[in-house]
């Protein structure tokens, strides 16, 4: 039986156990996980289609229906052709009476009200319009069911994530020989994304982060700086944060490159980051609270006196989406299970001096975390 049929049946069973009437899985990781239908890659600005608030996969006790606005219909219908678990593809024409279509679709699953599950990223308009049309209808997050299902990866998912990690490794190996003094963050970003494509990425899993730090060098810690001063020169440090999408699954990767002979303290910090990551990976065993994984890695950096410079969580779940629950963070309520996959990404930020980070995608096993990435962790000096 197809993995998607099995997921669909598990999802339906969980809906029934809770007494929920169905789910509208708008374009999201939840939709991809249950149906196999891919969403469009996100854009930097919003676009709108007639009927987009109805778009997605409607799952009821006995039907699985793909609802496609006209502008996305051809690609969504084509995606459904080899998926027999999708019972029908509903075309939403331009100018269609959306109220009538919604009543036709949802009357059967919520005749007198009931509960409909929606993904966390569903459009606000989806809930507002459905609440207007069905005042007795209540809403619950689909992640309440699908989050735990998605957190523990199946064998096929781990293999896809291994391929995505390999693409990141290959891209980094292609980037380092091309780094030259004078290159800007934008120059390096373009080269990273070129190398990802050459290595087989179907897209980037998030905005590529290229962060040059050193004296007189600052800016945002995600993406690239808008200032022209952030370019490679001796004494500066370059931190990478990038990832690929391969077969619908994300990777998330980080390494640090030193330009010229690095200050000995910066090399000690780099060694500290490697040690902290290793301690976090050792803690990634079934039954360990996610807060403890974070605490064990963090304690290595704190003991060396750089605790305040490690300003973020240790990592996050990863899979179809680049950020998934649970999180390796203070206050998280999760517990590690075998075959969960996380990023493990300690760092130290000293404004005006350095941002040093290492990041790999790591699979939790009874023997501790196993990295899906193969790039060495030794300092890279150009």
Look up the CATH number of the domain holding residue 274. Answer: 3.90.230.10
DSSP annotation of 39:
P
CA separation, residue 150 to residues 45, 120, 341 (Å): 28, 14, 10
Same domain, 207 and 238: yes
Same domain, 166 and 94: no
| Parent domain of 293 | 152-381
- Give per-residue pLDDT as tens, 167-204: 999 999 999 999 999 999 999 999 999 999 999 999 99
Q: Whose structure tokens read 């290793």? A: 278
What is the number of alpha carbons within 13 Å of residue 98 lying toward its C-beta? 19
Same domain, 112 and 256: no
- What's the angle, vertex CA 344, arms to CA 340 and CA 346, rounded to 5? 160
| Contacting residues for 350 by C-beta, under 8 A, at least 6 apart | 309
Same domain, 365 and 284: yes
98, 129, 150 — which closes off a domain?
Answer: 150
Judge whether 359 and 253 are in contact, CB under 8 Å: yes
Per-residue pLDDT, 212: 94
Q: Whose structure tokens read 């919520």? A: 110
117, 150, 183 — which closes off a domain?
Answer: 150
150, 173, 206 — which closes off a domain?
Answer: 150
DSSP annotation of 54:
G
Report the DSSP pairing between strands 115-118 and 138-141: parallel
Judge whether 243 and 319 are in contact, CB under 8 Å: no
- Give per-residue pLDDT as tens, 45-75: 888 999 999 999 999 999 999 999 999 999 9
- As beta bridge partners, residue 204 has 244
> pLDDT tier at 230 (50, 70, 90 boundaries)?
confident
Same domain, 193 and 129: no
Same domain, 127 and 158: no
Q: Please measure the distance between the N-terminal and C-terminal CA atoms of the chain and give it in whole angstroms.
A: 51
- pLDDT at residue 268 greater than cutoff 70: yes
Same domain, 320 and 287: yes
Work out how many domains the chain is built from and give that number: 2
Per-residue pLDDT, 42: 75
**Between residues 291 and 222, which one has the greater pLDDT?**
291
Same domain, 250 and 137: no
- In percent, the amount of the chain with pLDDT more than 90 equals 90
> pLDDT tier at 112 (50, 70, 90 boundaries)?
low
Same domain, 284 and 198: yes
Rounded Cα distance, 299 and 296, in Å = 5
- Give per-residue pLDDT as tens, 294-326: 999 999 999 999 999 999 999 999 999 999 999
Same domain, 78 and 20: yes
User: If you count them, how many residues does the chain have?
Assistant: 382
Same domain, 23 and 162: no
Report the DSSP pairing between strands 380-381 and 256-258: parallel
Per-residue pLDDT, 113: 74
- pLDDT at residue 220 greater than cutoff 70: no
Same domain, 92 and 195: no
């Amino acid at each position: 039986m197809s993995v998607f049929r099995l997921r669909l049946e598990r999802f339906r069973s969980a809906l029934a156990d809770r007494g929920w009437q169905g789910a509208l899985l708008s374009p999201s990781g939840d939709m991809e996980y249950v149906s196999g239908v891919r969403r469009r890659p996100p854009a930097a600005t919003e676009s709108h289609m007639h009927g987009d608030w109805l778009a997605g996969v409607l799952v009821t006790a006995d039907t699985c229906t793909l609802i496609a606005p006209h502008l996305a219909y051809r690609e969504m219908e084509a995606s459904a052709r080899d998926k027999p678990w999708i019972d029908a593809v509903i075309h939403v024409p331009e100018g269609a009476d959306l109220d009538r279509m919604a009543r036709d679709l949802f009357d059967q699953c919520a005749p007198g009200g009931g509960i409909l599950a929606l993904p966390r990223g569903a459009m606000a308009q989806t809930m507002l319009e459905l609440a207007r049309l069905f005042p007795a209808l209540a809403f619950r997050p689909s992640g309440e069911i699908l989050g735990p299902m998605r957190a523990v990866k199946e064998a096929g998912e781990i293999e896809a994530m291994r391929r995505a990690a390999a693409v990141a490794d290959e891209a980094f190996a292609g980037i380092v020989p091309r780094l030259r003094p004078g290159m800007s963050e934008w120059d390096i970003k373009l080269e990273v994304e070129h190398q990802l494509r050459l290595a087989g990425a179907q897209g980037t899993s998030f905005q590529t982060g290229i962060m040059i730090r050193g004296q007189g060098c600052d800016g945002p810690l995600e993406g690239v700086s808008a200032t022209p001063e952030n370019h490679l020169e001796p004494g500066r440090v370059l931190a990478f944060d990038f990832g690929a999408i391969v077969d619908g699954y994300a990777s998330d990767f980080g390494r640090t490159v030193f330009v010229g002979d690095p200050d000995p303290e910066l090399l000690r910090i780099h060694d500290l980051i490697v040690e902290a990551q290793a301690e976090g990976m050792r803690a990634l065993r079934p039954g360990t609270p996610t807060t403890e994984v974070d605490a064990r890695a963090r304690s290595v950096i704190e003991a060396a006196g750089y605790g305040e410079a490690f300003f973020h969580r240790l990592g996050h779940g990863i899979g179809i989406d680049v950020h998934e629950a649970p999180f390796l963070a203070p206050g998280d309520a999760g517990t590690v299970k075998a075959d969960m996959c996380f990023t493990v990404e300690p760092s130290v930020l000293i404004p005006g001096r350095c941002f040093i980070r290492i990041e790999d995608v790591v699979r939790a096993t009874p023997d501790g975390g196993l990295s899906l990435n193969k790039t060495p962790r030794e300092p890279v000096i150009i």
